[in-house]
Amino acid sequence: MGMKKNPMTFGRRTRLALGGLAAASVLALSAATPAHATFEAGVQAYLNGQYTQALDIWRRFAVAGDVRSKKILGDVYSGKSLEGAQSAATPLEAIPVDNVQALVWYSLAAHHDFSAYQTPSAEEVNARILAEQRLPDIRARMSTSNVTKAEKLVAQTFEAGSAYDLYRLGDMYQKGAGIAKNNAKALQMYELAQARGVGEASAAYEFLETLMSKKEIETAQKNAETWQPPLPPEYTGKTNQQKELERLKRELEEIKMAEALKAVSDIDVELVQRALNALGFRAGVVDNKLGAGTRAAIRRFQYSTVAKDFNKEEADKQAVVTGVLTPRQTVELFKDASKSEHPMSQYVYGIMFVRGIGVEQNGKEAVKWLEKAADDHDLAIAHYALGVVYRDGTTGLNEVAPDERKSALHLARASVLGYKPANDALRRLSFEYTRDIQ
């Protein structure tokens, strides 16, 4: 990074989508024998390494109402070894772990209703029980936003289904089962279901109504009046031209990011050590050397980044702990340390935004992090960096315009704090200002 010389100079994953699930009824009736046969055909395709075909088979019959197919899709997306297919471990490069999809399918299996079917088999009942048991583990490894995303997909699936599906969704909202508890949404679904002839919905509506305020009831009734079922994918999907434009945009962004990441290797080991210590990863003495202690601290950090989204057992499987930071991990390290209020890391992270090192150039973000280091912690070098930023302005996103007054204030503060390069910068700024007004 060359911080000692000049603080302003720094040397697909495959995602298998939910497909047409939202366009079909969760509880659509299908003949037991064909569903069973096709479920087994999916297992055989999986054993043969035909993973896309297996997923397609299971997805089609899950949509048609086969609980075993719903549950096994949850298994696949959660990275779990499959019952009946233990000899074939799921290859992550072919079917990456996708906790959102896992939660969706496990939720649909766990709340599968057998009342519209003939007597379920023991295997079908067991599939529902196992899916219900796995829900807490999947939720525990997910962020709140991803759980919310999965719950939204589950709700949309039921709303696109039959009148009885609406009743079931109301029951889920009322109990907070598989989806966040919301009595207003529950009453809305009961209203829709009873209007479509579901007798159980009327009794549920009358009971729930007694637990709610007048305002809540009015809101639910109003939402029921304006409710429209989700449109099928063919009406909501993007055009080929839109998809191509988005693909090109992603490619350009990846090229720009690849260029930005190249400069990350210039960051001094000393700064990495300070960030690791600030986050509690125990890099030891700050000596600017990538020794055994620093490598061990990096391994702990690398493990922790995986453990954020996985429980310990899954994190042990997923973690790649090399003791050497990748460019992206370096960016993540300084980001985390900055958020933990480590002033030197805030300064480094701000400079990364100024220069586009590992991140896209962004003047607003640069000033944000530099000001945290300067104003909150009175870090001299951060004041100096802000002085230079306001003297020269920035390029890239959210450009910062030159501001001589702010530049002088920060350079003067850096000088008072003993940062010698600020003295020369302040004199040059004063000279240029005097020259400009003459």
Could you read off the pLDDT tens digit of each residue along the chain, which spans 438 residues? 444 334 443 332 222 233 333 333 333 333 333 444 578 888 888 888 788 888 888 888 887 778 898 899 999 888 886 655 544 444 545 677 888 989 988 988 888 877 655 578 888 889 889 998 998 888 888 888 888 888 888 888 888 777 888 988 898 899 888 788 999 999 999 999 999 888 889 999 999 999 999 999 999 999 999 888 776 554 455 656 666 666 666 666 666 666 666 777 778 899 999 999 999 999 999 999 989 999 999 988 988 876 555 444 443 444 466 888 888 889 999 999 999 999 999 999 999 999 888 888 899 999 999 999 999 999 999 999 999 999 999 988 899 999 999 999 999 999 999 999 888 888 887 655 444 444
Cα 339 from Cα 184, distance rounded (Å): 37
Residues in the chain: 438
Range list for CATH 1.25.40.10 in the chain: 249-437
CATH T-level assignment (fold) for domain 249-437: 1.25.40
* b/e code 133-149 from CB counts within 10 Å (16+ = b): ebbebbbebbeeebbee
- Contact (Cβ atoms closer than 8 angstroms) between residue 12 and residue 47: no
Q: What is the pLDDT of residue 403?
A: 92
**DSSP helix, strand, coil percent of the chain (3-state; round to 5):** 65, 0, 35
Position 36, amino acid: H
Q: What is the pLDDT of residue 259?
A: 65
Of 4, 78, 65, 73, the C-alpha closest to 35 is 65
CA-CA distances (angstroms) from residue 401 to 101, 182, 364, 422? 45, 48, 11, 20
Cα 406 from Cα 330, distance rounded (Å): 31
Secondary structure tally for the chain: helices H, strands E: 21, 0
Q: What is the pLDDT of residue 287?
A: 92
Cα 187 from Cα 356, distance rounded (Å): 51
Cα 131 from Cα 128, distance rounded (Å): 5
Q: What is the pLDDT of residue 180?
A: 87
Q: Which residues contact 261 (CB under 8 A, 6 or more apart)?
A: 327, 328, 331, 358
Position 331, amino acid: V
Q: What is the pLDDT of residue 94?
A: 60
